[in-house]
Amino acid sequence: MATRLSLLPSPAPATTRCSRVFAPIQAITGAQRGDQLDGRHRTNDELTRLQICLSPNSPYTMTGCNAAEIPSYSPAVDITSLLRSWCSPGRIDKITMAHVRLDMIAVDSLVQPRLDRIKELESEIAHLRAEVDVISPTLDKYHSLHAPIRRLPPEMLLSIFGHLEPGPMPLKDDAPWVLTRVCSSWRDLVTHTPTLWSTIKMDCPYNYWNLSHYHHQHQHHTSSDLSPMSSLLTSSLRYSQNSPLDITLVSRLHNLSIDCITTPLSQHSNRWRSLVTDLDGFIPNDLPVLERLDLRIFSELFNSLQAPHLHTLIIGELYSIPFSRFPSLRCLECHIIDSEQLITLLEVAKQITSLRVDCWERLVPKNLPSSGIISSLLELHLPTKVPKALSCISFPMLHSLTLGLPLCYHPGYNPEDVDILNNLHCPRLRTLIFNNTINILPLNKLLSCPITRLDLVIRAKSVYYALISMPLLHLEDLRVTDESPWSEEILSLVKAKKGLRNVEVKSALIERIRELFRTESFPEELTTSFSVCSHGY
């Protein structure tokens, strides 16, 4: 026979005020709950016994309230010890189990009315919240009336709004749409300011548009997905009224599914001021106010395009373009694969004053003239390579030269580039910008030009020494991206150049450099600024 565990009730302390209050509830609801907990109908004797056990003088009643006025209960059986004894109900004697059932009924009689009360309160809270939701919008209007931002005049608000740029896609949560949902005053102000709607961007990531020839699992968007975007576009065009439009439409795929986008845009082509796109099928021949075109695909459009105000053209590889059709063209960005292309370009497009050329020249040109080519360029930007053709071109008007290629010992370094640049004929050069590391000493002839602005990326201490030793008599504006650990040399360079009027320094050690400059005194006409940059600029 299994040993039965007996845990008899210990004498309970004196009954308190709380026990006298709750005892009648325990005697009634506890017995009723006990019927449910036991799962059977109790006899009159059992109910009588429960009422006695739950009476005010019973050891099973509450014995008091704690400091927070929460009723406490003293059970007849230590349920925690019983749980730790590993005894199942079948191994506990009947008397102890009877006390356990009575304890359970008593505790349940405390919990249940409180749960009922919680439900009542939750219902009341929900009702109050519903009332607040109805009333609070009116209160919000009063708070809005006293908001500090309402003190700003509309002109200042529009100045602030003008700095917000729309995202890559027209979305309701992006500018300028998000401004219309702040308040009715802002909505009225924004929707009646055409310039806030004149920039339209649709720079779509690859695979954004509906690709009907793709497997359905890779088909992210359908024509119906473009409907909200088309609706926003139509509204933007309407709000922009007659303002010139700056449009970006980059799909990266030639797909007919975007007709709902291109058709409304084409209907307003007489207002296109600038256009960035990789599509040409929707571009009409007549663009009366177009000033800037970025079209980096081969296109026959230029043979018939009428754009009398076009001044900036960005294309991919340079091909046969009738530049005579665009007398206002001044700025050109393109790729060339040999020097002959550059020479031809300068001969047929004499109206161009600013040229950026990505040169991918691989072979040494064979038929270059020895000299005699004169260019009227004012600005020249060479981000990748120095074309060999520069050795036979004179730039008497050039005042700005920007170089992005490395001009020091580097995997991309070519000594011939340095020789060509050092012998470049540009007597009026004023601005020289190096966007990559350089070895300054071999470029002494180029730096003998009357340079007033010099931008440098410096990694070697020797570059500072070389600059200090060079006259640079006209230098007024020095901008240094320092990627070296020698902060003191920047200060030495600035002190050595007495004619400086502006100094800008970028460095990962900017606090150290700023502190060095703080300890020195400089002329009042010299302005200095500092900003942080990481190595590998």
pLDDT given at position 328: 97
CA atoms of 418 and 436, how far apart (whole Å)? 13
pLDDT given at position 535: 55
Checking if the pLDDT of 298 tops 60, the result is yes
Place of tokens 């795929």: 253
Instruction: Please check whether residue 514 lies inside any domain of the structure.
Output: yes
Instruction: Please check whether residue 474 lies inside any domain of the structure.
Output: yes
Checking if the pLDDT of 520 tops 80, the result is yes
Query: What confidence tier does 479 reach under pLDDT thresholds 50, 70, 90?
Result: very high
Checking if the pLDDT of 468 tops 90, the result is yes
Instruction: Please check whether residue 495 lies inside any domain of the structure.
Output: yes
Give the three-state DSSP class for 274.
strand
> Tell me: the pLDDT tens digits for 338-394?
888 999 999 999 999 999 999 888 766 777 776 678 999 999 999 988 998 998 999
CA atoms of 526 and 7, how far apart (whole Å)? 93
Average pLDDT of the residues in 85-112: 87
Detail the DSSP E strand segments found in 90-198.
Answer: none
Q: Helix H segments across 193-317?
A: 226-239, 259-266
Checking if the pLDDT of 308 tops 80, the result is yes
Q: What is the DSSP letter of 59?
A: T
CA atoms of 225 and 43, how far apart (whole Å)? 71
Q: Are 90 and 44 in contact (CB under 8 A)?
A: no
Q: Are 516 and 492 in contact (CB under 8 A)?
A: no
Q: Give the tokens for residue 235.
A: 């509204």
Q: Are 90 and 112 in contact (CB under 8 A)?
A: no
Instruction: Point out the least confidently predicted range of 69-73, 244-248, 374-378, 510-514.
Output: 69-73
Query: What confidence tier does 319 reach under pLDDT thresholds 50, 70, 90?
Result: confident
**Which position has the higher pLDDT, 221 or 113?**
113
> Tell me: the pLDDT tens digits for 423-456?
999 999 999 999 988 888 889 899 999 999 999 9
**Which position has the higher pLDDT, 366 or 209?**
366
Q: What is the DSSP letter of 417?
A: H
pLDDT given at position 78: 87
Query: What confidence tier does 509 reach under pLDDT thresholds 50, 70, 90?
Result: confident
Instruction: Please check whether residue 529 lies inside any domain of the structure.
Output: yes
Q: How many CA atoms does the CB half-sphere of 8 hold within 13 Å? A: 2
C-alpha dihedral sign at 259, 265, 269, 274: negative
**Which position has the higher pLDDT, 71 or 531?**
531
Checking if the pLDDT of 27 tops 70, the result is no
Domain boundary among 86, 105, 120: 120
Mean of per-residue pLDDT scores for the chain: 82
Q: How many CA atoms does the CB half-sphere of 316 hold within 13 Å? A: 7
Instruction: Please check whether residue 77 lies inside any domain of the structure.
Output: yes
CA atoms of 26 and 32, how far apart (whole Å)? 9
**Count of domains for the chain:** 2
CA atoms of 537 and 458, how far apart (whole Å)? 10
Checking if the pLDDT of 528 tops 90, the result is yes
CA atoms of 491 and 505, how far apart (whole Å)? 10
CA atoms of 58 and 438, how far apart (whole Å)? 97
Query: What confidence tier does 213 reach under pLDDT thresholds 50, 70, 90?
Result: very low
Query: What confidence tier does 407 reach under pLDDT thresholds 50, 70, 90?
Result: confident
Place of tokens 């036991």: 38
> b/e string for 88-116 if b means 16 or more Cβ within 10 A?
eeeebeeebbebbbbbbbbbbbbeeeeee
Query: End-to-end CA distance of the chain, in Å?
Result: 86
CA atoms of 293 and 269, how far apart (whole Å)? 13
Checking if the pLDDT of 216 tops 50, the result is no
Checking if the pLDDT of 516 tops 70, the result is yes
pLDDT given at position 252: 64
pLDDT given at position 171: 73
Checking if the pLDDT of 14 tops 60, the result is no
Average pLDDT of the residues in 406-419: 72
CA atoms of 535 and 485, how far apart (whole Å)? 11
Residue 397: partners with Cβ closer than 8 Å, 6 or more residues away: 375, 376, 377, 378, 428
Instruction: Point out the least confidently predicted range of 268-272, 310-314, 357-361.
Output: 357-361
Checking if the pLDDT of 493 tops 50, the result is yes
Instruction: Point out the least confidently predicted range of 199-208, 390-399, 495-504.
Output: 199-208
pLDDT given at position 44: 52
CA atoms of 240 and 236, how far apart (whole Å)? 6
Instruction: Please check whether residue 362 lies inside any domain of the structure.
Output: no
Residue 184: partners with Cβ closer than 8 Å, 6 or more residues away: none
Three-state SS sequence of 359-372 = ECCCCCCCCCCCCC
Instruction: Please check whether residue 274 lies inside any domain of the structure.
Output: no
Of the chain, the percentage scoring pLDDT greater than 90 comes to 47
Overall residue count recorded for the chain in this entry: 537
Q: Are 267 and 284 in contact (CB under 8 A)?
A: no
Average pLDDT of the residues in 172-192: 89
Vertex 336: Cα angle to 331 and 342 (nearest 5):
65
Identify the helix (H) or strand (E) that includes residue 373: strand 373-374
Q: Are 448 and 425 in contact (CB under 8 A)?
A: no
pLDDT given at position 409: 60
Domain boundary among 65, 90, 120: 120
Domain boundary among 104, 120, 136: 120
Instruction: Please check whether residue 256 lies inside any domain of the structure.
Output: no
pLDDT given at position 209: 47
Q: Which domain holds residue 113?
A: 17-120
pLDDT given at position 227: 73
> b/e string for 481-505 if b means 16 or more Cβ within 10 A?
bbbbeebebbbebbeebeebeebeb
CA 532 to chain centre: 20
